[in-house]
Amino acid sequence: MIPLDPLAALVVAGGTLLAPVAVGLLIGVDRKANAAVQLRVGPPVLQPLYDVTKLLAKASAGSDRVAAGLLAAHLVLAAGSFALILAGGDLLVAVLVLGAANLSFILAASAVESPFAQLGAGRELVVLVATEPLLILVVVAYALAAGSFSSAAIAAGSPYMVAVPTLALPLAVLLSATLRKSPFDLASSHHGHQELVKGSTTEMAGGWLAIAELGHWYEAAVILALIVLAAARLPVVAAALVAALYAIVIVADNTLPRATWRAALAIAWAVGGGGAAIALVTAVLASTKGAMG
């Protein structure tokens, strides 16, 4: 663990608290953009924040005690993973903590009796299987290029667009999956076009649904942080990278409705895995060339 001075700790705490607001706004812009693609007006940019506030302000919803505990764990672990990256900690630990957060959510979804929630939990697991290897490959590629797993060192060694350009592919797949976009919306979709509109979240209501949503936003914040790490020293380039990958994700979302879990797995591993593998090879080649030269 990296020793933090009080000021840095304050920045990390503040950043971690503000992250859901930023992700909420980003999702609001995303819903606006999607509506524009479909020639609709779309909801206000603040819509995701309205939704979460409304859910938190609902009269209290009873919840299965086990599921509630797991949902709380999901939120805390996902937030912790993000805070770890922000604090310059070990990226490998951060993505493993994120995996634990994902797993808590899946267990929360399968802890209840609803067959829809169980089905959603199973599919959530498929998405996890599709994306978790990619996450680790991305982190290893970063580490090879930077010579360290610490996110501070990786940020200092950025940008990596030249060293490992194909890293953009697994990052796009991860972004699409974390935002639950087609073809990764098979577990629970915000759109009516999926066969399972409410899967894993079926039994969650009121404040608990808001906590689940906030946990998902932290997951998205981690993936966005991974994207930003590719050009952390050039904020404008980093923002452009996020925008470009987001655009790819929106196009994929609108062109791949009703994808099956097999398609999701195939796309994740072919596109993301292929890109990550090439990135690994280029990173190794670059580092050996650097060592020889």
Partner 1 sequence: MSADRPFRRWVRRSRVRSPWLVHFDCGGCNGCDIEVLDMLTPRYSAERLGVVNVGDPRQADVLVVTGPANPRNAEVLRAVYDQMLEPKVVVAAGSCAAHGGIFRGASNVLGGVGEVVPVDVFVPGCPPPPWRILAGIIDAVPLLADVRPPRSPSGGPSRPEPLRVAPDDRPAKGQVDPAIDAHDADLESVTVP
How far apart are CB 38 and partner 1 at their closest, in Å?
5
**Which CB sits closer to partner 1, 196 or 248?**
196
**Which CB sits closer to partner 1, 209 or 228?**
209
CA distance 291 to 44: 52
How far apart are CB 15 and partner 1 at their closest, in Å?
22
Nearest one of 80, 166, 174, 161 to 135, comparing CA atoms: 174
How far apart are CB 102 and partner 1 at their closest, in Å?
22
CA distance 52 to 293: 54
The residue whose two tokens read 């020293």 is 233
Find out whether 196 and 120 touch, Cβ atoms under 8 Å. Answer: yes
How far apart are CB 57 and partner 1 at their closest, in Å?
5
Residues near partner 1 (CB under 8 A) are 31, 35, 38-44, 46-47, 49-51, 53-54, 57-61, 190, 192, 197-198, 201-206, 209
Residue 39: which region, alpha, beta or left (left: phi > 0; alpha: psi -120 to 50)?
A: left
**Which CB sits closer to partner 1, 54 or 233?**
54
Spell out the residues 6+ positions from residue 292 whose beta carbon is closer than 8 angstroms to its own.
none
